[in-house]
A and B are shown apart, each in its own frame.
Chain A
């Protein structure tokens, strides 16, 4: 007879000294764990509720401008700073951590319409409604300087270039020495020359926004008031192609991780993502705002972008999704003129009509500061289990809920009613006409009038 019985000796299963860690033994057999799915569901519900409890996205406001904030710029080599320009010509450099002005750049006579920082972050280029382009030296933050009172020290511009027409936008190459301004036409400048190096013109309308491609230093996209989005190549002497839509595009942002795609923020409350190689159909239509979208910026991960709109809200959209995952609003925040995603993908800065810049968290319930590895694992587990069950009604209700200001809620309902009515009418027209005469255009091409080479 051969016999063996389970016998566990205590020293194998407990720790030797009190300074050791406790011993842990694992058996992943599913038969030891009963009702796993129900337990996971309860955990998902609790995770969704905890998420909402800890969702405090607003960090603080940066107070200082006396007129509406019209444009902002990020410094690619300095994470903590952000430039902002206002409608009365005041340009400031802010320290985000202390939410104070580090340096002021006075000089513009009218509204500052565009701000951009050079590739190495040393030179700030600003353009304004007073027909000037000014270049400034950015003070480098050193340890000694931070000890000084964060004074309102101001600097003189390095160079001032005057032209005939007001400028509407400026953008610097991601990897080069040229910057482009938009106004009556697109001008490409070099830092040292007082005249633009190149000028492009197509049509007679003014250019509203200019953005260089992060991947190809010679490609830039502009939007004009003739409702078009044009793509230019600096190596050629003429613009490459143009897509004309039904409404004007207010701002453009290139996806830093997929540089052939860009997203255009339009007047008709939607954002359209395009592939720059194929402009006859948009890749995605991002719908959720109830008023014109004024500014757009991509996260450095390329997975989401933030938009600021005339309807006083800031929304965060996934790069491939049709609806926003998050909305930020405050009673005190009026029309949002500009938004920027911080370079570490954790914060959003919005500049609005009420002269404040506001700092928000990109993930509303994120724990800031140093996160211990155990905490991090717990957060990841909560995210994963919530995503597994977020399609079920109880969890979905909690995850999707966002408090909306009454006006936006009602405006959203009205838009829904209008869209449904138009759809119903279209369906009826189709049903009552011969087959093939009434063709519904897909949403992605509906707002495009034509593409021009």
Chain B
């Protein structure tokens, strides 16, 4: 029986450790602080189970996820960013080469794109009113509609059956067959639309800076706020925690949740207006670009700049594997962080036909493809290493049948999250708030409260009793009693505090030794 060499074993276990860490979802609980032995043993058993399940998942990776991602390696003096798409097309198989194409639609305005979460379907919208639904697997057009109005943005709802288009006056929701299902008048003239998948909320920002959240399952308007910060050109949802981020013309980036009318975070990012925003799938990294010709990478845990890159970007997007695409003019560059460093460096570049202006760059999920919407149509290019190679059928299945799609819809509706679960740190759900020391109400507040209570008691109607039991004298006495009862807790509190005060005073002045019989009335100092 061949045993692996000692060194190999160590390597394997280190790899395994790294994998296990990913499945552990954070540190284990500290059980030393617990005093309840029963609870301690119960929790220790559970922690043990978590460790075991993480290890099992790490070991199963080898069998469950056999495919490894794409890669691009330059040999010799070659640099990866000088490699053109044509040379890549020559090296890969025919099926992947089909993913590289340009669709030219010259008269219908700059195009914006959206992909479904499985990456199979794409919705493209041209500014002059062209809406198209494309199946990317076989590159077939499912439906195209001409709405004869300006269309500014398009977004898929929970699956490919529904999509929303931000048209001239209001956003509309369409079916896969192109039938208009709803006209959302409340939103107004929407600039940008975003869909929160777990909450089934359609978020929109309109020309006058109003943010609307609408629940698309019941049609209820969950929230609408006035941002009071003017025009915003950029809007993005952080996939990690469901927080909507807006980039304003003053250079500030604000983060919103539907349950509070004030923004969660307001940060000044750029000296000019923000032109694009993007979020890394792990939720901790945000890329912003501004008119001051800078692209900044922010750490959202500390709200600090990690890296500043020079250059404009009219559109930004992160891929599932963490590659950043910046589109500017007719030039796209893709940056990646390799070799375990935090910095992003140039990985690949691509220029489309000179004169075509890029409107939007968007990575296609679960594929190594970047979709570019520009002023003369849309293109798609290959970026090896950008997509997640192993998909989970219960999360997003590119090979979904209609039966599976229906089941998934029902299950995701059952798991629909209420809007209160949107918060900056989603791991706070299920935890206890630490006990904050209640601040003592001031004397005025206390008196006010007492007055309130006494007034309430005075107003309370007394029951009318018979047989001479509701004489005026009796009623007056009962009223006095009830007022005294209502006042009692406040007075007790007061007395307690006064007592504490006087005891404190006594403590300070009592350096004199008390006689033995009175010892128990003096406060005992520590150590004596």
Contact = CB atoms under 8 A, between A and B. Distances in A.
A28 B57 contact: yes
Contacts of B65: 27
Contacts of B356: none
A64 to B, nearest CB: 45
Interface in A19-42: 22-42
Majority DSSP secondary structure for residues of B touching A:
loop
B160 interface: no
Interface stretch (B185-193, B331-339, B395-403): B395-403
Contacts of B390: 25, 27
A30 B281 CA distance: 11
Contact of B71 (A4, A31, A43): A4
Contacts of B78: 1
B404 A38 contact: no
B91 interface: yes
Nearest to B240: A34
Interface string B407-446: 0000000111110010000110110000000000000000
Contacts of A202: none
Interface stretch (B206-214, B381-389, B495-503): B381-389
B71 A3 contact: yes
Interface residues of A, number: 38
A35 B421 contact: yes
B114 interface: no
A33 B395 contact: yes
B240 A392 contact: no
A54 interface: no
Contacts of B242: 34-35
A30 B73 contact: no
B393 interface: yes
Contact of A9 (B61, B95, B414, B417): B95
A26 B392 contact: yes
B5 interface: no
Contacts of B70: 3-6
Contacts of A26: 64, 392-394
A31 B282 contact: yes
A26 B392 CA distance: 4
Interface string A381-405: 0000000110010000000000000
B368 A6 contact: yes
B146 interface: no
A174 to B, nearest CB: 30
Contacts of B330: none
B29 to A, nearest CB: 13
B92 interface: yes
Give the interface size bracket for B toward A: 35 or more
A9 B137 CA distance: 10
Contact of B417 (A5, A8, A24, A35): A35
A286 B511 CA distance: 52
B115 interface: no
Given A13-B399, A31-B282, A5 B382 contact: yes
A184 B427 CA distance: 65
Interface in B119-138: 137
Q: Which of A3, A5, A46, A388 has the most CB of B within 10 A?
A: A5
A37 B429 contact: yes
B391 interface: yes
B92 A7 contact: yes
A214 to B, nearest CB: 26
B99 to A, nearest CB: 8
A441 B307 CA distance: 66
A38 B368 contact: no
A14 B282 CA distance: 30
Contacts of A8: 398-399
A36 B61 CA distance: 20
B368 A5 contact: yes
A332 interface: no
A237 interface: no
B109 interface: no
A2 interface: yes
B351 interface: no
A153 interface: no
Contacts of B23: 28-30
A9 to B, nearest CB: 7
A96 B6 CA distance: 65
B488 interface: no
A22 B403 CA distance: 11
B464 to A, nearest CB: 26
A6 B319 CA distance: 14
B430 A37 contact: yes
A10 interface: yes
Nearest to A33: B395
Contact of B366 (A1, A3, A6, A29): A6
Contacts of B281: 31
A27 B391 contact: yes
Interface string B222-264: 0000000000000000011110000000000000000000000
B421 A25 contact: no
B367 interface: yes
A10 B60 CA distance: 24
Contacts of A23: 393
A14 B283 CA distance: 32
Nearest to B24: A30
A15 to B, nearest CB: 9
A34 B384 contact: no
Given A33-B395, A389-B430, A5 B92 contact: yes
B72 interface: yes
Interface in B37-72: 57, 60-61, 64-65, 67, 69-72
Contacts of A29: 22-23, 392
B415 A42 contact: yes
Contacts of B239: 34
A39 B417 contact: yes
A392 B429 CA distance: 10
B67 A6 contact: yes
Given A1-B83, A2-B73, A7-B93, A35 B198 contact: yes
B436 to A, nearest CB: 17
A166 B241 CA distance: 74
Contact of B73 (A1, A27, A34, A43): A1
Contacts of A1: 72-75, 78, 83, 87, 91
B421 A41 contact: yes
B280 to A, nearest CB: 10
A36 B26 CA distance: 13
B477 interface: no
Nearest to B94: A7
B426 A27 contact: no
A6 B391 CA distance: 12
A374 to B, nearest CB: 13
B16 interface: no
Interface string B134-161: 0001000000000000000000000000
Contacts of A31: 22, 281-282
A43 B415 contact: yes
Interface string B81-101: 001000110011101100100
A383 to B, nearest CB: 15
A30 B392 contact: no
Given A35-B242, A38-B421, A3 B91 contact: yes
Contacts of A9: 95
Given A5-B92, A14-B399, 18 more contacts: A2-B72, A3-B70, A3-B384, A5-B99, A5-B382, A7-B96, A8-B399, A24-B394, A25-B64, A26-B64, A27-B392, A28-B57, A34-B283, A35-B426, A42-B416, A42-B417, A42-B418, A392-B430
Which 10 residue pairs are nearest across A and B when measured between Cβ atoms?
A: A38-B421, A27-B392, A27-B390, A7-B96, A2-B73, A5-B96, A5-B70, A37-B429, A24-B393, A5-B368
11 contacts: A2-B72, A5-B92, A7-B92, A7-B95, A8-B398, A31-B22, A34-B240, A35-B241, A35-B242, A35-B421, A46-B414
Interface of A: 1-10, 13-14, 22-43, 46, 388-389, 392
